[in-house]
Amino acid sequence: MKLSVIIPAHNEADHLTACLDSFVAQSTPPDELIVVDDNSTDNTFKIASEFAQKNTWIKVLQRKSSEGHIPGKKVVDTFNFGLERTSEFDLVGKFDADIILPTNYFEAMLNHFQSNWKLGMCSGLLYVEKKGKWVYESISNKDHIRGPIKLYHKACFNKMNGLRPGVGWDTVDELLAQYHGFEIHTDTSLLVKHLRPTGHGYTIKKRQSKGEALYKMRYGIVLVKLTALKMAWQAKNPFLYSQVIIGYLRAYFQQSERYVSKSEGAFIRKYRWQGITSKMSNN
């Protein structure tokens, strides 16, 4: 199976060397790694280029985009810029530049996809350093495939029509994969070090954009409230709840464009409610 990985990178000089070192050290490296430098003002391009000179399967591209930070959309647009320039692949990955992979990461991923023809998405788990120890980054359940380390089967990726350009892209893709009959899997034995914890630099705008994403995924208001409550609890930030609700209502009154169709939205709501009732019955 041909494997292509794309890393959107903006001012990642502090972490990129360690990240790319972990790619080079893989027991089974990708057939192709594309680092897309998006308007960096540090040494991101220089560092990536030095790796590309020593490893023919690493490519470096530069993308010029707007300087403003657009949560979700910028990273997806940069990923798509790299995607348009990939070679032929069976599996495609969207990875971040602030991670360190275990040496058997892609070997294990290939084994999962080759042994299960229904598998559409797969990843390991993200861990962050706290008081000198690496602990699970508990902002989501361990069955969630996190944005910095996603691998897709081409059939699944095409069926769900790629990634949605906005906040929530790394949630709606999981749901759409399952809507189209694919399975998702997280390998809990694969510990991926996340050098910059999620939530770094959160702004009110970004918090509200999470609520906007829930509207675009066609969540109902009760489901939105429960999801916002869970987000606030996991982030240990009570203000997150109100900001998510504000973002949802703003998108509702503005009638923002949806991420999914009505039938896909109905599946998503049913799937989420089944998850909630299942947890309640287990407790």
**Ranges of each domain in the chain:** 3-194, 204-282
Q: Do the Cβ atoms of 217 and 233 come closer than 8 Å?
A: no
pLDDT tens per residue across span 223-242: 999 999 988 887 788 888 99
Where b means 16+ CB within 10 Å and e means fewer, 68-104 reads eebbbbbbbbbbbbbbeebeebebbbbbbbbbbbbee
Residue 201: pLDDT above 70?
no
Q: Do the Cβ atoms of 70 and 39 come closer than 8 Å?
A: no
Tokens 């050290």 sit on residue: 25
Closest CA to 36 of 72, 82, 75, 67: 82
pTM here is: 0.90
Give 16's strand partners. Answer: none
pLDDT tens per residue across span 115-156: 999 999 999 999 999 999 999 998 788 999 999 999 999 999
The CA-to-CA distance between both ends of the chain, in Å, stands at 42
Q: Which CATH class is domain 3-194?
A: alpha beta
To the nearest 10°, report the CA torsion of 2, 167, 8, 21: -80
